[in-house]
Amino acid sequence: MLEYKFDTQLLIDGHDLDEDAINDYITEHLKGDCLIAVGDEDLIKIHFHTNEPWQLLEYAASLGEIYDVVVENMERQEQGLKG
């Protein structure tokens, strides 16, 4: 069984985005692993494994417009089912 069930990916379109600050916030406030937060001041791509993807989505939406949101259930994928 996986420790973190959902592979969550999204883009944040905003202004004055800081990938280091975003990375630090997610690391300090959200439970999960495999975090990638990369981009520039206008666009950040996030990849994160968590059991509570809605918390990541809520935080990201507070920073700008979110889109290309993908939340996949890795436990289902591990069983050969659609995630």
Let me know if residue 47 belongs to a domain.
yes
Nearest to 63 by CA among 6, 8, 18, 30: 18
Let me know if residue 25 belongs to a domain.
yes
Q: In this predicted structure, what is the pLDDT of residue 12?
A: 98
Let me know if residue 79 belongs to a domain.
no
Q: In this predicted structure, what is the pLDDT of residue 82?
A: 85
Q: Which residue has the tokens 């990369």?
A: 38
Q: Which domain holds residue 33?
A: 6-71
Q: Count how many domains the chain has.
A: 1
Q: In this predicted structure, what is the pLDDT of residue 58?
A: 98
Q: In this predicted structure, what is the pLDDT of residue 68?
A: 98
Q: In this predicted structure, what is the pLDDT of residue 72?
A: 97
Q: Which residue has the tokens 């916030």?
A: 25
Q: In this predicted structure, what is the pLDDT of residue 83?
A: 75
Average pLDDT, 10 consecutive residues per value, the chain (83 residues): 95 97 98 98 98 98 98 93 84
Let me know if residue 52 belongs to a domain.
yes
Q: Which residue has the tokens 């809520």?
A: 58
The helix/strand/coil state of 79 is coil
